[in-house]
Amino acid sequence: MRKPDVQNIINKLNEMGAKKILLQLPDGLKPQAYDLFNALSRQFSVVISSGGFYGACDVGTYEMYSDVDCIVQLGHSIMPNVRYPKPIIFEEFFFENDLDLERISLDILSGYHNIGLLFSIQYMHLAAKVGDFLTGKGFHPIIGKQDERMAYPGQVIGCNFSSAHSISGEVDCYLVVSTGKFHAIGVQLSADKETFILDVNEMRIVSMKDETDRFLRKRYAKISRAVDAKNICVVADTKIGQYRIKLAELLMKQATSLGLNPILLKADDVKPSDYENLRCDAVVFTGCPRVSIDDEDKFSMPILTPPEFQSLFKIKSPGRYVMDEITAVDNMP
């Protein structure tokens, strides 16, 4: 990963006349915190958020940003349909290594022609190169249009696969340029179509089918534990790009009409002990979909996404697993 372009950040801050800034770093960039702080402090009053920021959906709480002119968040791209509370600079940075694509075997893609090309933001600059490579080998790569939550065509994040949906009728399979498997599993499940990952660390293309089957087995085992739940916590996360209070209220109504005993909660920090103290049987979480999935083992009770809850209690019966996706959020009060 290359270093953030500090001069570019300084130029943008000067253009907006900022004096006091809040700097937000993903955990992978925290080791550079001293260098960044010192470089920016020559011109600006800087404070760094110590917490983790996993996406542009999270710019911290009012207490953190109330007395700054600008937030600088590194590593993520803007969510165009989120109403941020302060001017924000999203400084993206990209995977640095050049790819020797000729090393990659394409045998696994034989039988496919139209390939939906997707990427996570760190690999966006490689999309054209991968597309040219595929074209040169006789494939037809297609990059899908994103919805208003996403900044770039072809981009996927853990809660939004709109770039895949927009071309689902045109492609035979998807190829996700990434390293982590979650995005590719998400594409396979949400688009219900064969998906491969071009793993840029391992320089190989791998089918997501076995991973997706494993994911589903584990997930269904977890979800089924909630079938006898009575006391439910329905949680709205107050992070600005995760705030779905209307969905939480709808889930409250649905749970009540089923004869369950739901309570509505707001939270910024999702701690398993909070729900243990509440003695709830299951949590339905409307914030980041990855919390229910990545952190499931931290919770002693099942923690479900909204579609999982609606499917388990037969409010909706889509006949297959539905990924929770965020397309838009509610405005914060």
Give me the least distance between CB of 314 and ligand SF4, in Å please: 27
Residue 306 engages ligand SF4 in binding (rule: CB under 6 A): no
Using CB under 6 A, pick the residue from 115, 159, 223, 234 that binds ligand SF4.
159
C-alpha span between 316 and 154 (Å, rounded) = 29
C-alpha span between 24 and 74 (Å, rounded) = 6
For 57-112, strand residue ranges (E) read 70-74, 88-91
C-alpha span between 302 and 282 (Å, rounded) = 5
Give me the least distance between CB of 217 and ligand SF4, in Å please: 22
Residue 57 engages ligand SF4 in binding (rule: CB under 6 A): yes
Give me the least distance between CB of 323 and ligand SF4, in Å please: 11
Using CB under 6 A, pick the residue from 55, 60, 131, 141 that binds ligand SF4.
55
Closer to ligand SF4 by CB, 55 or 262: give it.
55
Residue 290 engages ligand SF4 in binding (rule: CB under 6 A): yes
CB-CB contact of 177 with 117 (8 Å) = yes
Residue 282 engages ligand SF4 in binding (rule: CB under 6 A): no
Residue 155 engages ligand SF4 in binding (rule: CB under 6 A): no
Closer to ligand SF4 by CB, 55 or 141: give it.
55
Strands 114-119 and 88-91, bridge-based pairing: unpaired
Give me the least distance between CB of 259 and ligand SF4, in Å please: 31
Chain position whose Cβ is nearest to ligand SF4? 55
Give me the least distance between CB of 83 and ligand SF4, in Å please: 16
For the chain, strand residue ranges (E) read 20-24, 45-48, 70-74, 88-91, 114-119, 140-142, 173-178, 195-199, 204-207, 231-237, 261-267, 282-285, 303-304
Residue 157 engages ligand SF4 in binding (rule: CB under 6 A): yes
Give me the least distance between CB of 236 and ligand SF4, in Å please: 13
Give me the least distance between CB of 281 and ligand SF4, in Å please: 25
Sheet bearing 261-267, strands edge to edge: 261-267, 231-237, 282-285, 303-304
Which residue stretch of 2-10, 21-29, 51-59, 193-201 sits at the interface with ligand SF4 (rule: CB under 6 A)? 51-59
Which residue stretch of 34-42, 154-162, 187-195, 245-253 sits at the interface with ligand SF4 (rule: CB under 6 A)? 154-162
Give me the least distance between CB of 183 and ligand SF4, in Å please: 9
Closer to ligand SF4 by CB, 158 or 306: give it.
158
Binding-site size, ligand SF4 (CB under 6 A)? 11
Residue 288 engages ligand SF4 in binding (rule: CB under 6 A): yes
Where b means 16+ CB within 10 Å and e means fewer, 43-70 reads ebebbbbeeebbbbbbbbeeebbeebbb
Using CB under 6 A, pick the residue from 77, 163, 195, 242 that binds ligand SF4.
242
Sheet bearing 173-178, strands edge to edge: 140-142, 114-119, 173-178, 195-199, 204-207
Residue 161 engages ligand SF4 in binding (rule: CB under 6 A): no
Residue 245 engages ligand SF4 in binding (rule: CB under 6 A): no
Closer to ligand SF4 by CB, 229 or 235: give it.
235
CB-CB contact of 93 with 83 (8 Å) = no
C-alpha span between 127 and 161 (Å, rounded) = 16
The H or E element spanning position 15 is: helix 6-16
Q: Which residues touch 38 (CB under 8 Å, ≥6 apart)?
A: none
Closest-CA residue to 275 (of 234, 220, 221): 234
Return the CA Rg of the chain.
21
Question: Which residues make up the interface to ligand SF4 (CB under 6 A)?
Answer: 54-55, 57, 157-159, 241-242, 288, 290, 326
